[in-house]
């Protein structure tokens, strides 16, 4: 566990208040409300430490920079939705049944990721 600096506390608070995967820039924007002088380099250093300490987990979307979510969210099987307008990523609860039926004969599935794309509730209105 790292030292609880004001910067780290603000970054942790950003995760808890958003309750969804965040990009480093989203973390910076949220954490600057508590620590206005916070910079992106500090955010990246803190994220690396938090990943190393297994407090957060990277969320990889094809062709995009990683976002991060709390380890407590990453511990249960779930998928993600990305808004095409604001580019925010949200957790989806549950999973699709029947994926094994899509496999060619003789294949064995060991895992899967599903990302849905569209407009979030805010951008849709």
pLDDT band (50, 70, 90) for residue 97: confident
Q: CA–CA distance from 16 to each of 58, 77, 88, 99, 108 (Å)? A: 16, 19, 16, 32, 37
Domains of the chain: 6-74 (1.10.10.10), 79-124 (3.30.1490)
Burial (Cβ within 10 Å: 0-12, 13-18, ≥19) of residue 91: middle
Angle at 103 between CA 98 and CA 106, to 5 degrees: 125
Beta-bridge partner residues of 22: 68
Give the model confidence (pLDDT) of 56-72 as tens digits: 999 999 999 999 999 99
The confidence score (pLDDT) of residue 4 equals 87
pLDDT band (50, 70, 90) for residue 107: very high
The whole-chain average pLDDT of the chain stands at 94
How much helix, strand and coil, in percent to the nearest 5, is found in the chain? 35, 20, 45
Give the model confidence (pLDDT) of 17-65 as tens digits: 999 999 999 999 999 999 999 999 999 999 999 999 999 999 999 999 9
The confidence score (pLDDT) of residue 1 equals 56
Query: Is it the case that residue 115 has pLDDT exceeding 60?
Result: yes
**Residue carrying structure tokens 């699709």:** 96
**Residue carrying structure tokens 């094809």:** 62
Give the residue-averaged pLDDT of 107-125. Answer: 94
């Amino acid at each position: 566990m790292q030292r609880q600096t004001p910067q780290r506390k603000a970054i942790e608070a950003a995760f808890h208040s958003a309750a969804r995967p965040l990009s480093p820039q989203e973390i910076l924007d949220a954490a600057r409300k508590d620590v206005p002088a916070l910079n992106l380099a500090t955010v990246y250093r803190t994220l690396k430490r938090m990943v190393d300490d297994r407090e957060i987990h990277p969320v990889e979307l094809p062709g995009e920079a990683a976002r991060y979510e709390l380890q407590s969210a990453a511990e249960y099987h779930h998928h993600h939705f990305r808004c095409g307008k604001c580019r925010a990523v949200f957790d989806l609860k549950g999973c699709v049944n029947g994926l094994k039926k899509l496999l060619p004969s003789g294949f064995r599935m060991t895992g899967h990721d599903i990302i849905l794309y569209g407009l979030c509730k805010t951008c849709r209105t």
